[in-house]
Amino acid sequence: MDKGFEISVVIPNYNNARYLAQCIESVSLQTYPISRIIVVDDCSTDDSISVLNELMGRYNNLRLIHLETNGKVSHARNIGLNHVETPYVTFMDSDDVYINPRKIENEMGLIKRIKETKKTDIVAYSRIDLISEQGTSLGNYCFRRRYYLEGKIFSDVLTRKHAFTIMRDYCLPTEVIRSVGGYNEANSLYEDLELILKLAKRIEFAYTGELGTGYRQVQTGLSSRPQQEHIDKLNEIFETNVEGLSPVKKCWYRIIRQIHMKENALIILSRRARNKLYKVVRGK
């Protein structure tokens, strides 16, 4: 294994004892060697610590960091990042799983090819599948490749282009995420979007075209928050990122954002219509 391409996985955890074994096992089954699995327990009140202690007896690359006070997910991720000693890092949530055993291999392979041919680093990501609390697939979440953002993506992310293709659990250089300050610890809603925007100012993104993570849909997750809270936070992130621009450029970004949001809605509606028609044709 080339030490220049070693990677660690950082997993924040809060009261996800029932999912931890499946999560850690999915990491251990990756075909790409994982140097260190760093689980940051954010002062859980369930059986997480006992589960993790048992798992450490099975996986010698698993390290547990137990926080004394609850600081929420962004803080836990940053604590984990502080303990990373490898050139590359990726993050995943403790209730999610890698459903493709080649997920890390695909992303690190893409990173390595770009590094060797173009002499530059990238962020590499794969598509997700939505899974239930029980771990079963909720349906095909695969959109056409053209809907996955690649290259210099800052403007597209800011204006919500193809916002339904979620970038999660990507592999990236440790130095790059540290250079942008990691996660915003004052925020626990769309903190991933904030980080992607910071990263996109510094580095290009690339999509593997392959399946990667099973993103578990739980009742206490992002979708459980009030709709207006989502709208307010997305508007806040947008305004923060256009602050300091000329009035003309701000106006341009606002117009493009509205266009992209309408495009997204049409793509989702047409996809749903095709799926319903497909079921009718097959008699389901």
pTM: 0.93
pLDDT for 3 equals: 87
The C-alpha atoms of residue 192 and residue 194 are separated, in whole angstroms, by 5
**Taking a C-beta distance cutoff of 8 angstroms, is the pair 8, 108 a contact?**
no
- How large is the average pLDDT for residues 28-43? 98
Whole-Å CA distances, 130 to 123, 142, 194, 215 = 22, 10, 22, 5
The C-alpha atoms of residue 282 and residue 284 are separated, in whole angstroms, by 6
Q: What is the pLDDT of residues 108-134, one digit of tens each?
A: 999 999 999 999 999 999 999 999 998
Q: What is the pLDDT of residues 57-110, one digit of tens each?
A: 999 999 999 999 999 999 999 999 999 999 999 999 999 999 999 999 999 999
